[in-house]
Amino acid sequence: MEPDSPIDNGRKAIRTETFPDGARIRVGWWRPSSETGQTAVLIHGRTEFLEKYAETIGELTARGFEVWSMDWRGQGLSARSLANRQKGHIDRFDTYLNDLAHFLTDIVPGTAPPVILAHSMGGHIVARAILENRITASRVVLTAPMFDLPLTGLGRVAAETIAKAAVTLGLGNLYAPGTGDYDPDRDRFDGNALTNDRTRFNALNAALRENPDLGLGGPTLGWVSAAFGSIKELRTVSSTPGVPTPVIVCTPLSDTVVSVTAQSDICQNAGWEQRRFENARHEILLETDSLRRDFWMAFEDFVA
């Protein structure tokens, strides 16, 4: 399916942009009610899409930020590369890095570096881009960044070996073991890894039921192999950080989607500030009101 039709009402615009390699990427823009000259760029995690962040975007514009965001290639309503659009696939994470640099340099307007708010996989990509001096930002806020996958020991060795071998054999487009197409009927609040807030959990699922084309299944073996390679790159570059951009990492301590330990390690290596959120699951921005209040206090203190 092609990305959605353009929308522009003067306060909100959603359109598609053709990126340098020809990929059609869905881009969103939101204008605050009172202009402050501040820009925030919202960078999604894996499987995510513009609609998921409606509440967050509203909170940013209420704080005077002009907000820009995009659906990563291969998810949301951006172009998907495989015949089965449910498969979460990428050839290498440098493709994401190139997309991010193009988005910030050639699409997001303005001369002053923006504040970047990035989640999970998006946090990983932004962290690498900052450390490798590919992008500039005035401040960077990372929530539950995917600095590593929650795999250790023989399980990690097996996952990395299988994924690498599959890519070598031309099987990188296959789903990673144990994953498949997105099935909304399997989403249950009880025991979910994303949030303690039932209302926000249900709202996310309602958005996916309303537009099933937003859904994304599991990652391919190619994505897994690319992720492991990029994790190694991040660990290497974090030990020799470049231009000192202020970065804060917001770590939900009950997260089981990405590695919590790796966030502490990278922060120590790069000299970044870390805020820990007790009882928070992976999606801090979809958490309970009290946890979200704590996050926005940290955000405002850091950005101010």
Pairing of strands 38-43, 65-70: parallel
The angle formed by the CA atoms of residues 63, 139 and 287, to the nearest 5 degrees, is 60
Number of DSSP helices (H) and strands (E) in the chain, helices first: 8, 9
On whether the pTM is more than 0.85, the answer is yes
Q: How far apart are CA 112 and CA 38, in angstroms?
A: 8
Q: How far apart are CA 8 and CA 118, in angstroms?
A: 24
Tokens of 67: 């907000």
pLDDT by position in tens, the chain (length 304): 445 557 777 789 999 999 999 999 999 999 998 888 899 999 999 999 999 999 999 999 999 999 999 999 999 999 998 999 999 999 999 999 999 999 999 999 987 899 999 999 999 999 999 999 999 999 999 999 999 999 989 899 999 999 999 999 999 999 999 999 999 888 899 999 999 999 999 999 999 999 999 999 999 999 999 999 999 999 999 988 666 899 999 999 999 999 999 999 999 999 999 999 999 999 999 999 999 999 999 999 999 8
The candidate with the shortest Cα–Cα distance to 236, out of 260, 263, 269, 271, is: 269
DSSP labels, 186-238: G--STT-SS-S-HHHHHHHHHHHHH-GGG---PBBHHHHHHHHHHHHHHHHHH
